[in-house]
Structure 1
Amino acid sequence: MEATLITDLTYVEAPAAPVVSLPSLPPTVVQSGLKRSLLTGLFQLAEARLLWRFLRTPARVGEAIRYVEELKREYYGDLKPRKVARVAGRSYREYYEPGRPSAAYDAYVATTVNRAVPFRGDADTLNLVFLAITKKCPLACEHCFEWDALNQKEVLSRADIQDLVARFQARHVTQIFFSGGEPMLRVNDLVAVVEAARPGTDFWVITSGFNFTRENAGRLKRAGFTGVTISLDHHEPARHNAFRGSAQAYQNAVQAVAFAHEAGLVVNLSLCATAEFTTGTNLWAYAELARQLGVTFIQLLEPRAVGHYAGQAVDLSPAQLALLEDFYLKMNFASDYFSWPIVHYYGYHQRRMGCAGAADRFLYVDTDGDMHACPFCQKKSGSALCRTADDGFDAALASLKTRGCHPFSQAAL
């Protein structure tokens, strides 16, 4: 992308809230039906080659194909995903799936296949880890699940974070999402940790946009980061600012999108769809904004009564859940929206397939280095840090798998 696009991003202060002049950024979701079909075919060809490389016999390959097809039917039903995005020479279909071609994508396919047709001598099934690296944050977000830990003394050193990354990479984890607090407060550590990591993992940072400057976006990309998840919880600047407790939150988020585009990072907008927000008007206005900003993904999160929301009645109504599901289905599978961002809505699939957290396919590591089923199912199952000769990491992982999630297991993540 040419840097001149960023000059279109201007801000005019108004008495109530900043008025943001939005840029129109190039789309990353493929517009051409022919190109979309070609890229889908390349995914299929790559998967076929990987299956043969891993399994080596027609019978085992056939068994794996049947498993993968059943998994797709369970995940998508009768729907056929067709949307593909292109960023920095790689193709993307799902937020929680690495882009292709890459070592991370190959490892992701390997872990999926190994669940059904073991071939590599281990039972590791983790695909991704959410890793909270800092307690510090300049915001006061309405829904923060780490509210009780915010701005306390830091526990994790850079060496600790490097150790955590290495431990999870050794278990074939193909995506690591750095969160906090605000992880961009530790941008120097992020760069150093990812530069030292081995190939085979896609790294993302989950940020409000704070400290996500043009320079820092470029540093993340050069270090080896794949993408950035930017929290944007309303299409109206004043409402997002109020939700985040900062008059600059909307400006920072939109500016971060532009800088990430310029650097060649994949962009995901993460929306906490509160009861107040969840109307058809708001959802489609948000989608139009995301389309204008050229983002690849929109992530829908449902509010949970943890952290700053603890003890509050924040669950969505059945009608609002149905509205989110309708939005997800139209955006991803209706032909009118093939050129719009790809929507990731974990709650839709979780209600049909059960929870994939608790070290089944993902887990959460908090700012003390302790493991949990997910960011919202916080009950410590032991430390992920290596600080003793017998640190109990494997036992803690096994315990997490056994205990599973708490009652949110059939709700949305």
Structure 2
Amino acid sequence: MSIDPTPAKVIQPLDVDYDAIRSSNPHRMVHGVEARLIRLRQQAINLWTALQAYRTSSGIRAVMAKLKEHRALASGGKRVKKLVSVEGRSHWRLFIPANTSHLHVPFLKGELNRLVPHSKGGHELAVVFLSVTKKCPLKCEHCFEWHNLNQKEVIGPEDINRMIENLQSIGATNIAFTGGEPMLRVREMAESIRRYKSKSQFWILTSGFNFTATNAAELRSAGAHGVVVSIDHYDPLAHDQFRGSRGSFRDAINAVKHALDKGFLTAISTCVTRDNANREYIDEFMNMARSLGVGFVQWIEPKAVGHYAMQDVILKPEHQVVLEEALLDYTYAEAFKNHPLVIYHEYYQRKLGCFASGNKMVYVDTDGDLMSCPFCHRKGGSLLSDDFRQSLENLRSTGCSDYAPVIG
């Protein structure tokens, strides 16, 4: 497949009926009595898992107190009143396995261990972002891998498999393939997913490029769990300009359709710049996401790395206030009960500290090197190395330079 990485200087609009590109299998938002019953079941699973992990009433009380503390800091003690239903599976967070999944309890034990240590196992990592290619046909304005794009590949299929094996040896609930554009390695991803799907949930993080109905079917058949599609504006031309590629909006919403059609847990990820950090834009974007049928939308703040390096792009406090108020509305307000749930990592980082740096999450770059996250470009050792565990411990001890440590 040939790739022209150079976008036209002026992006021209396409003559496409975008409103006609919709899935007949949208996610269903669950609320009311049904959501309360699901939550009661989850509370019972939480309690049973805590009993298995701690065995004593004092240990259970300690971890429940920590959970309450986290909830109070993050949301004032409020509980999310809606869930996302995907083919009978219920989700209230993007990277938390459904409570019917065999990965749910290992994930929970890992979460509990981070709050109050125990010796009963569990996954060390909740999410790993694994970059599998340097290649990409787009030139996105905010790309954090800008200086590595379309360079010579370093890792091959066997390297990818070895990294997955190393991650699964310590427990990694979610492994998300990214890049570059991971859909350029769809065959290799499908083979790896088919081989390792029993121990992790596998995700594809894509611009929509090459996410055809055929490729979606192959990945789903292999056992892939979820898809996150990047869409950076509700206006097709504005999105194409931001992504540096004519037709990228068409590809993105087609990817959402194909992912929903095949039964993937499907989300949209969007970079909210200063120009867009206003309530009118947010509401319009969320209405688009609802019409597309996804259950989750992830908001990401721009960072001064990659193509944005040395640029004044960080959101100001007044922009953050707009997003935080919108987050609370879309999470708790009755008026938005049928809109997607919002994932806004920076909000939780400001409240609770950084969850990356090998704590809950880690990023692996296109050389196979461990990094704290996609926006912290400090290499911490190779995941391909025999001593990758020590490299991971070094990342944890170094921590994040932007956010305080997670409370514990």
TM-score, L = length of structure 2: 0.91
Residue in structure 2 matched with residue 182 of structure 1 by the alignment: 181
Q: Which moved more, 1:66-75 or 1:163-172?
A: 66-75
**Aligned-partner SS, 1:409:** coil
Instruction: Give the distance between the partners of 2:369 and 2:217, measured in 1 at CA.
Output: 31
How much has 1:201 moved relative to structure 2? 1.7
> Contact 1:98/1:104 (CA < 8 Å) preserved in 2?
yes
What percent of counterpart residues are identical? 36
Instruction: Give the distance between the partners of 1:324 and 1:230, measured in 2 at CA.
Output: 20
Q: Which moved more, 1:58-67 or 1:266-275?
A: 58-67
Instruction: Give the distance between the partners of 1:338 and 1:165, measured in 2 at CA.
Output: 37
Residue in structure 1 matched with residue 18 of structure 2 by the alignment: 21
Q: Deviations over 1:245-269 (max 9, x none)?
A: 1111000000011100110001110
Q: Deviations over 1:104-136 (max 9, x none)?
A: 221110101223444436797421111111000
**Aligned-partner SS, 2:266:** strand
Q: Which moved more, 1:49-58 or 1:115-124?
A: 115-124
Residue in structure 1 matched with residue 264 of structure 2 by the alignment: 265
> Contact 2:106/2:122 (CA < 8 Å) preserved in 1?
no
Instruction: Give the distance between the partners of 1:123 and 1:378, measured in 2 at CA.
Output: 28
Q: Which moved more, 1:177-186 or 1:47-56?
A: 47-56
Give the one of 402, 405, 409 matched to 2:403. Answer: 409
Instruction: Give the distance between the partners of 2:36 and 2:262, measured in 1 at CA.
Output: 27
**Aligned-partner SS, 2:162:** helix
The letter for the 2-side match of 1:173 is A
Residue in structure 1 matched with residue 288 of structure 2 by the alignment: 289
Instruction: Give the distance between the partners of 1:395 and 1:241, measured in 2 at CA.
Output: 42
Residue in structure 1 matched with residue 349 of structure 2 by the alignment: 350
> Contact 2:173/2:199 (CA < 8 Å) preserved in 1?
yes
How much has 1:64 moved relative to structure 2? 3.1
> Contact 2:197/2:223 (CA < 8 Å) preserved in 1?
no
In structure 1, runs of 5+ residues without a counterpart are 1-13
Residue in structure 2 matched with residue 398 of structure 1 by the alignment: 393
> Contact 1:115/1:123 (CA < 8 Å) preserved in 2?
no
Instruction: Give the distance between the partners of 1:199 and 1:16, measured in 2 at CA.
Output: 44
The letter for the 1-side match of 2:44 is L
Query: Structure 1's 62 and 254: CA in aligned 2 closer, same or farther, altered over 3 A?
Result: same
Query: Structure 1's 17 and 278: CA in aligned 2 closer, same or farther, altered over 3 A?
Result: farther
Query: Structure 1's 140 and 399: CA in aligned 2 closer, same or farther, altered over 3 A?
Result: same
**Aligned-partner SS, 2:274:** coil
Query: Structure 1's 366 and 351: CA in aligned 2 closer, same or farther, altered over 3 A?
Result: same
Instruction: Give the distance between the partners of 2:122 and 2:93, measured in 1 at CA.
Output: 24
Residue in structure 1 matched with residue 3 of structure 2 by the alignment: none
> Contact 1:257/1:267 (CA < 8 Å) preserved in 2?
yes
Q: 1:347-386, aligned counterparts within 5 Å?
A: 347-386=346-385
Instruction: Give the distance between the partners of 1:75 and 1:318, measured in 2 at CA.
Output: 18
How much has 1:71 moved relative to structure 2? 2.7
How much has 1:297 moved relative to structure 2? 0.6
The letter for the 1-side match of 2:388 is F
In structure 2, runs of 5+ residues without a counterpart are 1-10
Residue in structure 2 matched with residue 205 of structure 1 by the alignment: 204
How much has 1:317 moved relative to structure 2? 2.2
Instruction: Give the distance between the partners of 2:84 and 2:388, measured in 1 at CA.
Output: 37
Residue in structure 2 matched with residue 243 of structure 1 by the alignment: 242
Residue in structure 2 matched with residue 42 of structure 1 by the alignment: 41
Q: Deviations over 1:347-375 (max 9, x none)?
A: 11111111111111111100001111100
Residue in structure 1 matched with residue 8 of structure 2 by the alignment: none
Residue in structure 2 matched with residue 54 of structure 1 by the alignment: 53
For the aligned residue pairs, the C-alpha RMSD in angstroms reads: 2.0
Instruction: Give the distance between the partners of 2:188 and 2:213, measured in 1 at CA.
Output: 17
> Contact 1:273/1:302 (CA < 8 Å) preserved in 2?
yes
Residue in structure 2 matched with residue 5 of structure 1 by the alignment: none
Instruction: Give the distance between the partners of 1:124 and 1:106, measured in 2 at CA.
Output: 9
Residue in structure 1 matched with residue 139 of structure 2 by the alignment: 140
Q: 1:189-338, aligned counterparts within 5 Å?
A: 189-338=188-337
Instruction: Give the distance between the partners of 1:121 and 1:267, measured in 2 at CA.
Output: 32
The letter for the 2-side match of 1:139 is L
> Contact 2:54/2:118 (CA < 8 Å) preserved in 1?
yes
The letter for the 2-side match of 1:16 is P
Instruction: Give the distance between the partners of 1:24 and 1:367, measured in 2 at CA.
Output: 33
Q: Which moved more, 1:44-53 or 1:105-114?
A: 44-53
How much has 1:96 moved relative to structure 2? 2.9
Query: Structure 1's 28 and 58: CA in aligned 2 closer, same or farther, altered over 3 A?
Result: same
**Aligned-partner SS, 1:165:** helix
Residue in structure 1 matched with residue 5 of structure 2 by the alignment: none
Residue in structure 2 matched with residue 63 of structure 1 by the alignment: 62
Q: Deviations over 1:176-231 (max 9, x none)?
A: 11100000000011111111115232111100000101111111112111110100
How much has 1:98 moved relative to structure 2? 2.0
The letter for the 2-side match of 1:409 is Y
The letter for the 2-side match of 1:175 is N
Q: Which moved more, 1:17-26 or 1:360-369?
A: 17-26
How much has 1:48 moved relative to structure 2? 2.4
The alignment covers a number of residue pairs equal to 393
> Contact 1:29/1:341 (CA < 8 Å) preserved in 2?
no
Instruction: Give the distance between the partners of 1:307 and 1:18, measured in 2 at CA.
Output: 32
The letter for the 1-side match of 2:370 is M
The letter for the 2-side match of 1:229 is V
Instruction: Give the distance between the partners of 2:321 and 2:205, measured in 1 at CA.
Output: 27
Q: Which moved more, 1:199-208 or 1:128-137?
A: 199-208
Instruction: Give the distance between the partners of 1:40 and 1:29, measured in 2 at CA.
Output: 16
> Contact 2:30/2:83 (CA < 8 Å) preserved in 1?
no
